[in-house]
Amino acid sequence: MPPAPDCVRCGAPVYVLDAKRMLPSEQSANTDIPDGIYAMIEKPIALVTGAGGGIGQEIATTLASHQWTVVVNDLHDDTANKTSAAINRAGGDSMTLSGDIADSATVERLFSVAFNKYQRPVSLLINNAGVQTWASLDELTAEQWQRTISTNLTGCFLMTQRFAKTAPAGSSIVNIGSGCNKLAFPKLVDYSAAKGGVEMFTKSSALELGPRGIRVNCIAPGAIATERTAAETGDYNNSWAELTPLRRIGTAKDVANAVLLLADDKAGFITGQTINVDGGLFSQAIWPNSY
């Protein structure tokens, strides 16, 4: 490795990682790279799952407007293509790779096609794709249970495992959890079980990937306005705003901005954490009205 120049701001050595030339084994081992600041010579690549709409779409477009090349995944080609097209029209760099993230062959394809196109590995993974069934324990079918666990938890595992094979040191993962990570909501048995799992999976993978310089964190959104949530109840916005200490519901942009914070090198010592992006919603205790 050539001698490293010093950072003009802090004096630490700056090493330029030529991701194009690094073998996957070198990228993940990184034992021969000394301490210092790492600079990628090309735009880093982010992969966002479930980015055809809602929160994932906003995360993808926000990352693209902050110098990330974005691989847009969704189950559906048409919606994923709309997100990529919007990014590219705005002058960003994006490609669509649709497919089911709960299927291991699809997961392998996403990463290998992205690498073939950009000739460098994905260095930010946003595990956002998620589904739920609104059904009581009595009514929930085994198929519905399986679909939610596969998408929300198995998908998160498969994507993380494959990402970690090639991600260079300095990479990170943000999992999108929910208030259900810690709190039990009615008629969301499958979803709560999966999101509770996402929180523990975040911690366990942070522990294992930390020595390779890969950080793993989770965001638990509160009530966020999306097309999907608007259809949940007649007056979604007001009913959740009343319960939220900041007296409004969240936007997809609120979540995307938190992703930017966690992905930034300034968050370089934060890993294994879940951050509620909820206007204070999940910090409240249940309290009798008589007080």
Ligand X SMILES: NC(=O)c1ccc[n+]([C@@H]2O[C@H](COP(=O)([O-])OP(=O)(O)OC[C@H]3O[C@@H](n4cnc5c(N)ncnc54)[C@H](O)[C@@H]3O)[C@@H](O)[C@H]2O)c1
Q: Which residues are catalytic?
A: 191
126 binds ligand X (CB under 6 A): no
Give 254's contacts (C-beta < 8 A, 6+ positions apart): 221, 224, 277
244 binds ligand X (CB under 6 A): no
For tokens 């890969």, name the residue.
Answer: 214
Length of the chain as a residue count: 291
For tokens 């919606």, name the residue.
Answer: 79
Among 20, 76, 109, 117, binds ligand X (CB under 6 A): 76
Among 33, 47, 71, 75, binds ligand X (CB under 6 A): 75
* 125 or 223: CB nearest ligand X: 223
Judged by CB under 6 A, which stretch of 4-12, 23-31, 71-79, 111-119 contacts ligand X? 71-79
Residues 153-182 that bind ligand X (CB under 6 A): 155, 176, 178
String of contacts with ligand X for each residue 223-242, x by CB under 6 A: xx-x-xx-------------
Q: What is the rounded CA–CA span in Å between residue 205 and residue 233? A: 36
- The DSSP result for 136-187, as a single string, is -TTT--HHHHHHHHIIIIIHHHHHHHHHHHHPPTT-EEEEE--GGGTSPPTT
* 6 or 77: CB nearest ligand X: 77
Q: What is the rounded CA–CA span in Å between residue 16 and residue 252? A: 34
Judged by CB under 6 A, which stretch of 15-23, 128-136, 157-165, 200-208 contacts ligand X? 128-136
Q: What is the rounded CA–CA span in Å between residue 133 and residue 139? A: 10
Tell me which residues touch ligand X (CB under 6 A).
49-50, 52-56, 73-76, 79, 100-102, 128-131, 151, 155, 176, 178, 221, 223-224, 226, 228-229
